[in-house]
Amino acid sequence: MAVDRQSGGSSVIRFIKSLYLNNLFFFTLMFFVLGFFVCFIFDEYFYLMQIALGVFFVFLVLDIFTAYRQKTGLVASRNCPDRLSNGDKNTISISVTNRYPFKAKIKIVEEVPFQFQKRNLSFNVSLNINSSEVFYYDLRPTERGVYRFGALNIYAAGLFGFISRRYIFDNNKDVAVYPSFIEMHKYELLAASHRLTDYGIKRIRRIGHATEFDHIKHYIIGDDPRTINYKATARMNQLMVNTYQEEKSQPVYCLIDKGRTMKMPFNEMSLLDYAINSTLMVCSTALNKGDKAGLITFSKNIDEILPADKQRRQRNKILETLYAQKTDFKESDYERLYITIRRKLTQRSLIILYTNFETLNGMRRQLKYLSSLAKDHLVLVAFFLNSEFNEVLDITPTNLEEIFRKGMAEKLSNDKFLIVKELNRYGIHTILSKP
């Protein structure tokens, strides 16, 4: 008997927790309060108000009965991928099915992870009998890690709308936010359909070639004269050259600086996360083209070394390694990086270094290590423009403080282009890009 009482008590508690009073209930209650107040002045309306109160009570009971008559009047689910893409819009859908024998007015309140700071994400809709509807919303995460979704709350109003019954679905679901795999897939499709030129990415004419023949084409300025096909030239009465397939299985290493200069945020994302997203796309493209892709991350110490490989599992290794990257944003040790590369990378490789130099002097402190690397490898340094300087440069200063700020912004912006020239002097290729 004690168990039955406990079960009955818990049922009552669940009922009370799921019962919510709508605005219509309180408006009606206010009407009766004012009505009975008027009855003190005009007592002939007192019995009429009592009858009206009784009718209201009957309708309220019927409202509760219709809302709780079925054990499950609504069925809902949140359709969310197991992984979200960092820095991209990820579409989440909510499907709701009405099993009530009447048209249900429902309110959906979604508890998204606290990192998004969205506390008012809700939908109001009416569902016909035995009908379903799907609702969509977008989330853009800006940090890697685990995000926890709360409850999916559905409030179903009764037949008369005085009360609502609360349903809870999909409570506490964890979703991992990975580097931008959506952008990675987009560029894979563009590369496969030869549409990268639409985004400003074009094939570069390379000096030198492999020995595996591809096809014969007309000579244009810039082609290697050593590849002239004299038989085809005589036959076509035009200069014709042989073209060869590009060399593959070349090692491509992405180096990610996790030092304090990469902590700067732009559009709610740190430069480190932008570098991680770009690394994923570069490595994926290299693997698709038959090259080997590897990864090195560093700050004060060398944190991760993933040797270059072209196996199918390498893409997933890179993705998992990038997802797990954490840093305390300390000063980066380029000397340690140089020693590690000299010891680990024995084959000439393409090295893409993601870092950020704000001043010319800051770059010169690391120049001797970068120039030494450039003697053994093809080094490409990718760093970032400070896009917030544009706002300062566009204003017309009206006081001494604004003049000082604009002058500093001009100096720091010019330093970026001086850094490019200085690196190019030492045979180091550069990419200066907005985040």
The residue-averaged pLDDT of 165-183 equals 91
Report the 10 Å Cβ neighbour count for 92: 19
Domain limits of the chain? 1-178, 251-433
| One-letter amino acid for residue 80 of the chain | C
- Residue-wise pLDDT tens digits, 2-14: 344 444 557 888 8
The CATH number of the structural domain formed by 251-433 is 3.40.50
Confidence of residue 210 (pLDDT cuts 50, 70, 90): low
pLDDT for residue 368 is more than 60: yes
> Is pLDDT above 50 for 207?
no
Query: For position 46, what pLDDT does the model report?
Result: 84
pLDDT of residue 412: 80
Q: What pLDDT, on a 0 to 100 scale, did the predictor assign at position 189?
A: 63
Higher confidence at residue 405 or residue 213? 405
pLDDT on residue 196: 54
Cα–Cα distance, 363 to 358 (Å, whole number): 8
Place of tokens 């038959």: 290
Q: Which residues of 189-226 are buried (b: 16+ CB within 10 A; e: fewer)?
A: ebeeeeeeeeeeeeeeeeeebeeeeeeeeebeeebbee
d(CA 340, CA 345): 8
Average pLDDT over residues 355-375: 93
Judge whether residue 195 has pLDDT over 60. no
pLDDT at 133: 93
- According to DSSP, the β-strands at 104-110 and 19-21 are unpaired
Question: pLDDT-derived band of residue 374, with 50, 70 and 90 as boundaries?
Answer: very high
Distance CA 354, CA 298 (A): 11
Look at residue 57 in the predicted model and tell me its pLDDT. 94
Find out whether 341 and 373 touch, Cβ atoms under 8 Å.
Answer: yes
The listed range with the strongest mean pLDDT (37-46, 171-180, 187-196) is 171-180
pLDDT, residue 245, reads 64
Q: Which residue has the tokens 């282009």?
A: 417
Q: What is the mean pLDDT of residues 172-192?
A: 81
Lowest mean pLDDT among 16-20, 410-414, 425-429: 410-414
Identify the pLDDT of residue 389. 75
Query: So what's the pLDDT on residue 247?
Result: 63
More confident residue, 278 or 194: 278
Q: What percent of the chain has pLDDT over 90?
A: 55
Which amino acid, one-letter code, is at 429? H
Residue from 161, 150, 90 nearest 121 by CA: 150
Does residue 201 register a pLDDT over 60? no
Which has more pLDDT, 401 or 165?
A: 165
**How confident is the model at residue 114, as a pLDDT?**
92
pLDDT tier at 396 (50, 70, 90 boundaries)? Answer: confident
Q: Kindly report the CA angle at 300 between 294 and 306, in degrees rounded to 5?
A: 15
Query: Could you please report the per-residue DSSP string of 200-221?
Result: T--PPPPSS--SSEEEEEE--T
For residue 107, CA distances in Å to 15, 79, 94, 139, 413 come to: 19, 18, 12, 20, 51
Q: How far apart are CA 104 and CA 69, in angstroms?
A: 14
The model's pLDDT over 297-328, given as tens digits with 9 standing for 90+, comes to: 999 999 999 999 998 899 999 999 999 998 88
- Give the lowest-confidence range in 161-165, 223-227, 334-338: 223-227
* CA angle in degrees (0–180, nearest 5) for 292-294-297: 170
Name the CATH superfamily housing domain 1-178.
Immunoglobulins (2.60.40.10)
As a whole number, the mean pLDDT across the chain is 87
* Residue ranges of E strands in 170-291: 173-178, 213-218, 240-244, 251-257, 265-266, 269-270
- What pLDDT does residue 4 have? 44
Q: How many CB atoms lie within 10 A of CB 30?
A: 10
Among 12-21, 211-220, 367-376, the minimum mean pLDDT is found in 211-220
The predicted structure's pLDDT at residue 99:
93
> Percentage of the chain with pLDDT > 70?
91
- The pLDDT score that the predictor gives to residue 407 is 81
pLDDT at 191: 58
| Among the ranges given (6-10, 84-88, 240-244, 424-428), the one the predictor scored with the smallest mean pLDDT | 6-10
